[in-house]
Structure 1
Amino acid sequence: MSQRKRLSNTQGASQNKRRSDSLAEDDSEVPFTQPSSSQVQRGLARVSNAQVEQKAAEVVQYIMVKDQKKIPVRRADLVKHVIKDYRNIYPEIMKRVLQTFSQVFGLELVEIDTKAHVYILINKLEPHEALTTNQGSVNPKTGLLWVILSVIFMKRGAVKEGLIWNTLKKLRVDPGERHEVFGDVKKLVTDEFVRQRYLEYVRIPHTEPLECEFRWGQRAELEVSKPQILHFMGQLHEREPQSWSQQYRDAHPSLGAPGPSQPSRSQR
């Protein structure tokens, strides 16, 4: 009995130690406070320009790797894993990072969550550019996303998931079956596109059984042109964009209602 008790105590102590070690690792992240301009100047006096450039290049690389999968970047992770001991010159590093993205890559780093300080890279492309890869071939995932965003926009911002699945079925993309190009279609739409912030997938309150709907995500709001969406739908249905009066106003809020020369028709 005493041996069992000692063994139990030893195992318990070992488990407690692992838990405390795990908590210590979690708590090791020191909260980041934006340094003042005087702190930045003092920090810059202790490092060379080459060191700052190198750290900025590391930040660019880190963000680009995340962006390959359209994963948003948290400032806390950036500071912890890349900036590290250079946190006192964080503003100067990020200033150079922003310049590099803008001048070299034609991209913009945008903060989409000012409380959690979450960033994404955006590229405001025309639809025909966004739908193609560097080799000029059609990007299937982006094409599928474009269809979903178009449906949501035409329905004024929110669509029950059933309508999205029915639309995809008409395109021979069944969310209940594994697709040869997209794989698990439902996971692609409800997980990957959501994590990338192209879509929001939310529960509709007070529904029984549970119902969910799709909305445009933060990345879509920043990257995707609503007038181009409407132009795309006009070509698809052989209609003038102005014929969808409500959607036209949504796409062109500064223009108001369509002019009398092109009368509105009801939304399909």
Structure 2
Amino acid sequence: QVSELVQFLLVKDQKKIPIKRADMLKNIIREYRNAYSEIVRRADRTLQEVFGLQLVEIDTKRHIYILINNLPRAEGQHLCRGKEKEKMGLLLVILSFIFMKGNSVKDSALWEFLHLLRVYPGKQHSVFGDVRKLVTEEFVRQKYLEITPIPLTDPPEFKFQWGPRAENETSKKDVLNFVAKMQGKDPTFWASQYSETEANQ
């Protein structure tokens, strides 16, 4: 529910539409109404940590929210704005998925995972555009991801791994901490991933 809510809020933010609590309940939270405040709190934390955005209630009577840019304005600091920032958020989610699945995933597994986030590879996405192209071309060209054909597969299958830029710009420890925060668990919960991050230090 947290991932779905994050996606929902990002799409609304693209159009700069204020977000009503009623819409969040109706479209995303539905039967998890009792956990509303916990889901919103976790979604807000993810938005802050991944996208540099903060969910702010601007009308406490009617429960209307907006997303505001929460990134530091340090002088000379390079900030990717708008769609670039959101693409980096999606990239972090993909890198996390690859790492948690043992550092390599089949393309079919990745598309299935993105489906759960309501990001469909075959459809034009309002935030990310052509998702398949973004993942298989742009992220690969930027060296965030590597895509390799799996031998002797018909129809051809591919596997995704971290690219060299991802290895340099982030660490598996950061990614594991991100996943742990998303799931509300301690990083040691994932024993093999945790020992890998410790070994990489």
TM-score, with normalisation over the residues of structure 2?
Answer: 0.59
Of residues 250, 254, 257, the one that matches 2:196 is 250
Specify the SS of the correspondent of 2:199: coil
Give 1:171's aligned residue: 117
Equivalent residue in structure 2 for 1:162, among 90, 96, 108: 108
Q: Is the 8 A contact 2:144 2:162 kept in 1?
A: yes
Report what 1:238 is aligned to: 184
Which of 149, 170, 173 matches 1:203?
A: 149
Match of 2:158 in 1: 212
Match of 1:229 among 163, 169, 175: 175
How many residues were matched structurally? 129
Amino acid at match of 1:227: K
Shift in Å at residue 132 of structure 1?
3.6
Structure with higher Rg: it is 1
Contiguous gaps of at least 5 residues in structure 1 = 1-126, 256-268
Query: SS at 1:212's partner residue?
Result: strand
CA shift, 1:240, in A, is 1.2
What is the CA-CA distance between 1:129 and the residue it aligns to? 6.7
Residues 153/196 of structure 1: CA separation in 2 closer, same or farther (3 Å cut): same
Alpha-carbon separation, structure 2, partners of 1:182 and 1:254: 32
Q: What is the one-letter code of the residue matched to 1:248? A: Y
What is the CA–CA distance in structure 1 between the aligned matches of 2:142 and 2:111, rounded to whole Å? 20
Match of 2:88 among 125, 142, 153: 142
Q: 1:236-261: per-residue Cα shift (whole Å, max 9, x none)?
A: 12221111111011111068xxxxxx
Taking the TM superposition and a 5 Å limit, the aligned residue runs for 1:2-41 are: none
| Alpha carbons 2:150, 2:156 under 8 Å: kept | yes
Q: How does 1:47-196 map to 2 (within 5 A)?
A: 131-132=51-52, 136=71, 139-196=85-142
Distance of 1:155 and 1:173 partners within structure 2: 19
Structure number with greater CO (CA < 8 Å, separation at least 6) is 2
For structure 2, list consecutive stretches of 5 or more residues without a partner in the other structure: 1-46, 54-68, 72-80
Q: Aligned equivalents of 2:50 and 2:184: distance in 1? A: 22
Q: How far, CA to CA, are the matches of 1:146 and 1:228 in structure 2? A: 10
Displacement over 3 Å in runs of 4+: 127-135
Cα 1:250–1:131, aligned 2, differ >3 Å: closer, same or farther? farther
- Distance in 2, Cα, partners of 1:165 & 1:130: 21
TM-score, normalised to structure 1, is 0.45
